[in-house]
Amino acid sequence: MVGNITFTMLKPDAVEANNIGPILAKINQAGFRIVAMKYLKLSKDTAGKFYEVHKERPFYGELVDYMSSGPIVAAVLQKDNAVADFRTLIGATDPSKAEEGTIRKLFAKSIAANAVHGSDSDENAAIEANFYFSQIERF
Ligand code: UDP
Ligand code: MG
């Protein structure tokens, strides 16, 4: 089914603040099913590859340093209209601009340390899910 998965990471700030549980609860309450999940720490090299699309942006170096600074939770989530609905659930990139009740409004520390990643298209959701998970890791 097209459009039924997205990919997320609970970023180092969210893990450090002991917010894995509360964020996963919001994700489940919003109707997403967990297809795949792992707890890991990215190397700088792996973080750099994941964010290669942002290579030319001014924040790329800081983003790579930050995303490799501590453990993260990576997951594939399933729901109808998963990509758009998850972007609504997490809110704007800058938490000061995020809607009340969104995950970033509730849990993000700053525009860089913004608690969660969410895919921006069906195509990127598939690419990002494949970056982390093999077929035998998905249920
Ligand atoms: N980011 C940053 N400074 C910025 C914009 C983005 O540090 O001015 C970081 C932030 O962690 C963000 C990530 O880079 O989540 C990817 O940026 P993107 O524009 O794709 O935002 P997102 O899709 O995560 O909302
Ligand atoms: Mg993005």
pLDDT digits (tens, 9 = 90+) for 74-107: 999 999 999 999 999 999 999 999 999 999 999 9
Does 63 sit in the ligand 1 pocket, CB within 6 Å?
yes
Minimum-distance ligand to the CA of 57?
1
The domain spanning residue 64 has which CATH number? 3.30.70.141
pLDDT higher than 90, residue 6 = yes
How many separate domains does the chain show? 1
- Phi first, then psi, for residue 86 (nearest 5°) are -70, -35
Question: pTM to 2 decimals?
Answer: 0.97
Host domain of residue 124: 5-134
Beta-bridge partners for 116: 10
C-alpha–C-alpha distance, residues 109 and 16, integer Å:
11
Mean pLDDT of 3-29: 97
- Phi first, then psi, for residue 16 (nearest 5°) are -60, -35
| Amino acid letter, 95 | P
Does 106 sit in the ligand 1 pocket, CB within 6 Å?
no
Domain assignment present for 139: no
> 3-state DSSP call for residue 116?
strand
For residue 62, the ligand 1 atom closest to its alpha carbon is: 7
pLDDT, position 116: 98
